[in-house]
Structure 1
Amino acid sequence: TIMKMLYSGLFLLSILAFSTSFQIRLSTFELRNRPSQKSCLYNFLDDYKSSIDGPEDGSVDGEFPPSVCPSEIHRIRFSTTAGDFTIRLDRALSPSGVARFLELVDDGFFNEQLLYRVDPGFVIQFGIACDPQLQSRWDPKAGAPIAPLPDEPNRQKFRAGSVSFAGSGIDSRSCHFCIALEPFGEDLGTSPHETVLGNIEVEDGGILALESIVRNREDQGYGNLLDIQGSLTRGGNAAVISQYPGVDRIVACGRI
């Protein structure tokens, strides 16, 4: 009986030692493989967690915060080197965001701008003026004497053709914008600056123009060109156009 108790005790001790050793190895593995806060994987996991937990305002399953002002539609016609499209803005979606967009249109800010970033299946991005002096009127990072806009809650699900500010986190909306492309652009809306302002009208072939922009970029082989933002901001179109002569641009835009 004593021997049986002794063997049983030794057996339990061996199991405990193995379990402790396994937990130590597992913890070490997790620490070594935990993504850095600066890595894309970390950001992706954060976004994935947000999609599970739901937005902070408590809305769930397609429920969005109510508008704080009545609907007010503004239509902006863009002529580009790849075709024309119309953006239909609704002030009810983002009152201050739509107001800023209209100010930029009226100032001629978008005229001759390069559609510099093209990520097929994700976004088309613009918002850097052809002239650095014009950029410095609207972009705080380029010396503009204005603050970025405070964030507003997103009130509409992103879809292909949705228009939103591009930004870098909380209260970073200034003069940079993106147009969502399918399928991955439909997942936007988790970052604080990602608030839908309006959408590309499909009735006049606007989506075809977006497809042409994407197809041209793929044919050129330039990549997404996100890394030319700095040069473009400092030197305008002249700083990059000789190296990337085929980049599509906005010829002109205005209210209709």
Structure 2
Amino acid sequence: MSLIAEDIRVSYGGREALSGVNLTAQPGEVTAIVGPNGSGKSTLLGAITASLPYHGRVCLNGRDITRMKPWELASQRAVLPQASRLAFSFTVIEVVRLGLQAGTAGDRREVPMLALARVGLAGYADRTFQELSGGEAQRVMLARVLAQVWSPFEDGQPRWLLLDEPVSSLDIAHQLQVMELARNFARAGGGVIAVMHDLNLTALYADRVAVLAGGQSLAFGAPSGVLTDEILSRAYGCVLRVSAPPPAGVPYILPHAASA
């Protein structure tokens, strides 16, 4: 049971945004997609979630997603977009309950409150969504998708979190909280695919990393084999140096020169 994207091609107005990209994500792992702006990261996630037209094949837990009904997709994977806007003045708990209605835990009325607590917003249930800060709103939406796939592994199948820049509006402490949440979801048997900009967080939390550039895949594998000077410098168009200082040995990335 895995999530497999094969030969994914996406075009916008005659321009090819993705050129035959492949990606395989396994349950029990956090798979990160990284690359510069315009490299195709969010486009790839959009194809995987079937939120935009694509050529190729995407299989979720052994089934082609084009042959799955919307309710089947909603029961097996939850999608966090880059940004969410609401036209009506919903309360926070009402927003989180939307995930409960779409997913498999609809009979567990305690799940929305548990999801809010998990993202550090236990006292926010009765606030309106519009009064939240950007970071708070992002965590409410994360609580919504958590409620949708509350059990990472159920009925013999993994559930999936598909996250597009899940920490973009968050401070350092909440970035770590969200990435820990993603890693714990994977450790419990689910699968996570996350579009990431922060290479240090990627090195810390990802089990596998896909590096995209120019709509193509440059590398895919464990962080230690993919987050290298040569691959990252090619991807980002500037000189980067990767270091693994003792004692932890976790790679971190620093710009080496400001010129391209």
Max Rg structure: 1
TM-score by length of 2: 0.25
Task: Name the one with the larger strand percent.
Answer: 2
